[in-house]
Amino acid sequence: MRIDIENMDAGYGDERILHGIDLHLEGPGLTCIIGPNGVGKSTLVKCMNRLLDPASGKVSINGRDIKEMTRREIAETVAYVPVQSEDVFAMPVFDTVLIGRANKSKWKTSPEDVVKVRKALEVLGISDLASRPFDELSAGQHQMVAIARGLVQESEILVLDEPTANLDIRHQVFVTSLMHEIAVSKGVMVVMISHNLNIASMFADRMVLMSKPGIVKEVGTAAEVVTAENISEVYDVDCEIVDHQGRPVILLDRYLS
């Protein structure tokens, strides 16, 4: 499995957010996209499954230009978990996750669907929420449900826009770690946006650092990407990097320059 982005510019309307993006992701593993606010992380992942058409350049999945693929074909390869879920007419959590199986089965829910959804809830530790209405949940619980819906699509590529945004630290560690473990054990490519650099560094097999004005600054392992120079330059903070269990950890200076 691979995603190739070549010389891509993208944005909304006339506004360009991404400039000359070249990014090649290949093989299973967890890729964490990091970078400051407004740098185009969400825009970049939206280009990976054609939620947004790039202004120029080319995006291909497994060697096929996505412009020549139908939405259905893209959906079968790439599952996407948006940063925020909508719930105008809330369903129970079980049914909400079940919608993710729409491409896997026919009109009627199959036993496989039911078992898969049940397992996804169990994997994420939210089995107890199964019959609760979606709109009664907290923001963090919403996020877990959205991740479950991403999982049950069983695609070879899973893209998540800030899946840990509303989670407490244990759940941030859990979800990020789980994404890494699933990527390894199921052989899928997981791409997620993260703002928690330390947790992303702990589990990412690959990191993509984005910087202003909407470019990819560096791609590599956590140790290669998360350096004091990179972090201070891109985020405009001073910090020290220490090694903890073989991964870089950022210790921030309390003073901003």
Partner 1 sequence: MEEGQAGRIDSAKRAAELWAAEDDLGSEGSKKAVNDYRVSEMRKLAFTFACVAAAVIVAGLSIIYGTMDLGFVECYEIIWDHLTGNIQDKLLDYIVVQERLPRVVAALVTGAGLAVAGCVMQSVLKNPLADPYTTGISSGAGFGATLAITLGVSIVGGNYAIVVNAFVFALVPMAVMLAVGKLKGASPTMMIMAGIAIMFIFNSFTTVLKLHADPDALALLYQWTVGTVSDCSWTDIPPMAAVVIAGTVVTQALSRKLNVLATGDDSAKAMGLNVENMRIMLLLLISLMVATVVSFTGLIGFVGLVAPHVCRIFVGADNRYLVLSSAMFGAVLLEVADLVGRTVIAPATLQVGVVTAFIGGPMFLYLIMRQKRSSW
Residue count of the chain: 257
> Starting at the edge strand that comes first in sequence, how are the strands of the sheet with 56-61 ordered?
15-26, 2-12, 56-61, 64-65
Looking at 22-30, 220-228, 232-240, 244-252, which segment touches partner 1 (CB under 8 A)? 244-252
Q: Is 185 in the site for partner 1 (CB under 8 A)?
A: yes
Q: How far is the CB of 125 from partner 1 (least distance, A)?
A: 7
Residue 119 near partner 1 by CB under 8 A: yes
> Nearest to residue 163, comparing CAs of 191, 182, 135?
191
Helix (H, G, I), strand (E, B) or coil at 83: coil
SS3 132: coil
Pairing type for strands 2-12 and 56-61 reads antiparallel
Q: Which is nearer to partner 1, 161 or 235 (CB)?
A: 161
- CB 137 → partner 1: shortest distance, Å? 12
User: Is 135 in contact with 89 (CB distance < 8 Å)?
Assistant: no
Which is nearer to partner 1, 61 or 234 (by Cβ)?
61
Q: Which is nearer to partner 1, 116 or 206 (CB)?
A: 116
Residue type, 85: S
Determine which residue in the list 40, 167, 247, 248 makes contact with partner 1, applying CB under 8 A.
247
Site residues for partner 1, 45-104, by CB under 8 A, read 46, 49-51, 70-76, 78-80, 82, 84-86, 88-92, 94-96, 99-100, 102-103
At residue 64, what is the residue type? R
CA distance 80 to 162: 11
Q: Which residues of 23-53 are buried (b: 16+ CB within 10 A; e: fewer)?
A: bebeebbbbbbbbeeebbbbbbbbbbbbbbe
Q: Is 141 in the site for partner 1 (CB under 8 A)?
A: no
Q: Specify whether the CB–CB gap between 191 and 157 falls below 8 A.
A: yes
- What is the CA 68 to chain-centroid distance, rounded? 24
Total residues at interface with partner 1 (CB under 8 A): 63
Pick the piece of the chain touching partner 1 (CB under 8 A) from 42-50, 55-63, 223-231, 232-240.
42-50
CB closer to partner 1, 112 vs 236: 112
**Residue 48 C-beta: closest distance to partner 1, Å:** 10
Where does this chain bind partner 1 (CB under 8 A)? 46, 49-51, 70-76, 78-80, 82, 84-86, 88-92, 94-96, 99-100, 102-103, 107, 109, 111-112, 114-116, 118-120, 122-125, 133, 135-136, 149, 151, 153, 173-174, 177-178, 180-182, 184-186, 245-247
